[in-house]
Amino acid sequence: MKTALITGVNGQDGAYLAELLLEKGYMVHGVKRRSSLINTHRIDHLYQDPHEKEVRFRLHYGDMTDSTNLIRIIQETQPDEIYNLAAMSHVKVSFDTPEYTANADGIGTLRLLEALRILGLEKKTRIYQASTSELYGLVQEVPQKETTPFYPRSPYAVAKLYAYWITVNYREAYGMYACNGILFNHESPLRGETFVTRKITRAVAAIALGLQDCLYLGNLNAQRDWGHAKDYVEAMWRILQQDKPEDFVIATGITTPVRDFVRMAFAELGIMVEFTGEGINERGIVVACTNDSYQIGIGKQVVSVDPEYFRPTEVELLIGDATKARTKLGWEPQYDLQMLVKEMVANDVLEFEKTGKVQFEHLIS
Ligand code: NDP
Ligand code: GDR
């Protein structure tokens, strides 16, 4: 039985990856940091009482900013594979917490690599680093592939740039099996509520339900290559099963503006929205976005732009070329954007239903 250690196990990707590895028969250890409230809802279905026999899923308290703790967990668990998914992963928030982001996302990766060397595991343990399409930042080339130059545009991306190169350096310097997956945006019903896709699908459900009037967003013109997290964790696993350690871009190859994601999400509930123009009011820029639904009032403004959500430096266009992953890993995404939007909206409708406020299943088209 192989043993895997996942940092960030209670995040979106950690939850899908833990499920996948358990299905494959792994012993899975997860690192989660202490929080004042229980925040394991994404992995609660995987939880096993540690007092039972043959437990294959265990959680350990840990933090990417604490080397001693990482060394101890690795020593105890002796993993065959480490998936380093833990990070302060919100690009906008990284402008507010740049030093912490550098510490957790950049130096945190170094701490794991060094822990393997200190423990003499550098030839045994394979390590996956969660790199990101944010490394490409300001467009140098489209579509973006493994050889495209990096130009990070946020403290988050700069921290991840360090993590990318320290992973490459430890591979070259010490012969470690250390790989970067350069993953483009991937979403799911488990996506954090403040990332744009989930923010939209939740708001669409709430607006249709009459619980919210208007969705305030930032840059509607940004374009992202959105895939499904379930497909992307499969790629992470495949990256660590190759003969030779290498870096891979994982993407769908299709890019979509934020405003089209908004349209698609409303359309799932039978509400057609139209962006009819821009103006200025006391809140700043307003994009008129009206709808054709009797349910919520024909012509009602359902989306506005709040400049509060603009970033000091933005990444305008991401579109990935995953040819290398398709050919070398045999990786193919199973979901397209339409399927993803459908699943996310349906999930948010159900979540609001669970709160018992109102039943509106009939709205799902
Ligand atoms: P999430 O934000 O959902 O999960 C991040 C996880 O990291 C959470 O479990 C979080 O714990 C944990 N974490 C944060 N800071 C620390 C710390 N200091 N010590 C220990 N754990 C910490 O991210 P995703 O699952 O979406 O992404 C996984 C990884 O992949 C991240 O590194 C992200 O940067 C990267 N990535 C994500 C992409 C995407 O589109 N989703 C694309 C490319 C890369 P807590 O719940 O306590 O906050
Ligand atoms: P991103 O994801 O920054 O690409 O990072 P996010 O969903 O936050 O933003 C995508 C684009 O949408 C625009 N946008 C808004 N974003 C948010 N969060 N909230 C808004 O109201 C809003 N309005 C418009 C943004 O400006 C941006 O252009 C994600 C994270 O998962 C990273 O960890 C990961 O590395 C990258 O994807 C790949």
Cα 195 to averaged position of ligand 2 atoms, centre (Å): 5
Any domain includes 56: yes
Any domain includes 90: yes
Q: Which residues line ligand 1 (CB under 6 A)?
A: 7-8, 10-14, 33, 35, 39, 63-65, 85-89, 104, 130, 132, 183, 185-186, 192
Amino acid at residue number 231: D
Residues forming the active site: 132, 134, 156
Q: Say how far apart CA 237 and CA 254 lie, in whole Å.
A: 23
Clarify whether residues 175 and 205 are in a common domain.
Answer: no
| Two structure tokens written together for 263 | 């349209």
Q: Say how far apart CA 112 and CA 169 lie, in whole Å.
A: 14
**pLDDT score recorded for residue 161:** 99
Q: For 97, list phi and psi in degrees, rounded to 5.
A: -130, 60
In ligand 2, the atom with minimum distance to the C-alpha of 132 is 35
CB atoms within 10 A of CB 326: 15
Ligand nearest to the CA of 230: 1
Domains held by the chain: number: 2
| Two structure tokens written together for 350 | 């159900």
**pLDDT score recorded for residue 296:** 79
**pLDDT score recorded for residue 298:** 80
Clarify whether residues 271 and 129 are in a common domain.
Answer: no
Any domain includes 164: yes
Strands 178-183 and 126-132: parallel
* Ordered alpha helix ranges (H), 242-321: 258-268
Amino acid at residue number 87: A
Clarify whether residues 155 and 67 are in a common domain.
Answer: yes
**pLDDT score recorded for residue 357:** 59
Any domain includes 62: yes
In ligand 1, the atom with minimum distance to the C-alpha of 182 is 43
Tell me the CATH number at 116. Answer: 3.40.50.720
By most ligand atoms within 8 Å of CB, the mutation choice from 89, 100, 236, 252 for ligand 1 is: 89
Are 179 and 170 in contact by the 8 Å Cβ rule? The answer is no
Using CA positions, which residue lies closest to atom 15 of ligand 2?
196
By most ligand atoms within 8 Å of CB, the mutation choice from 12, 185, 191, 289 for ligand 2 is: 185
Strands 256-257 and 223-224: antiparallel
**pLDDT score recorded for residue 53:** 81
Clarify whether residues 215 and 132 are in a common domain.
Answer: no
**pLDDT score recorded for residue 1:** 96
Q: Say how far apart CA 144 and CA 181 lie, in whole Å.
A: 13
Clarify whether residues 122 and 208 are in a common domain.
Answer: no
Tally of CA atoms within 13 A in the half-sphere of 261 that contains its CB: 31
What is the span of the domain harbouring residue 79? 3-183
**pLDDT score recorded for residue 257:** 97
Q: Is 162 helix (H, G, I), strand (E, B) or coil?
A: helix
Clarify whether residues 23 and 130 are in a common domain.
Answer: yes
Clarify whether residues 58 and 159 are in a common domain.
Answer: yes
Cα 288 to averaged position of ligand 2 atoms, centre (Å): 22
Tell me the CATH number at 307. Answer: 3.90.25.10
Clarify whether residues 262 and 213 are in a common domain.
Answer: yes
Using CA positions, which residue lies closest to atom 22 of ligand 1?
86
Any domain includes 322: no
Q: Say how far apart CA 141 and CA 248 lie, in whole Å.
A: 17
- Each residue's pLDDT, cut to its tens digit, for the chain (365 residues) gives 999 999 999 999 999 999 999 999 999 999 999 999 999 999 999 998 888 888 999 999 999 999 999 999 999 999 999 999 999 999 999 999 999 999 999 999 999 999 999 999 999 999 999 999 999 999 999 999 999 999 999 999 999 999 999 999 999 999 999 999 999 999 999 999 999 999 999 999 999 998 998 999 999 999 999 999 999 999 999 999 999 999 999 999 999 999 999 999 999 999 988 887 666 555 455 566 777 777 777 878 889 888 899 999 999 999 999 999 999 999 999 999 999 999 999 999 999 988 755 444 444 32
Task: Give the pTM.
Answer: 0.95
Q: Say how far apart CA 107 and CA 77 lie, in whole Å.
A: 22
Ligand nearest to the CA of 6: 1
* Ordered alpha helix ranges (H), the chain: 12-23, 67-77, 91-96, 98-101, 108-118, 155-174, 196-209, 229-239, 258-268, 323-324, 337-354
Clarify whether residues 157 and 272 are in a common domain.
Answer: no
Any domain includes 324: no
Clarify whether residues 96 and 208 are in a common domain.
Answer: no
What is the ipTM for the molecules in this complex? 0.99
Clarify whether residues 165 and 209 are in a common domain.
Answer: no
272 Cβ partners below 8 Å, 6+ apart?
Answer: 263, 266, 291, 292, 293
Using CA positions, which residue lies closest to atom 17 of ligand 2?
196
Are 203 and 215 in contact by the 8 Å Cβ rule? The answer is yes
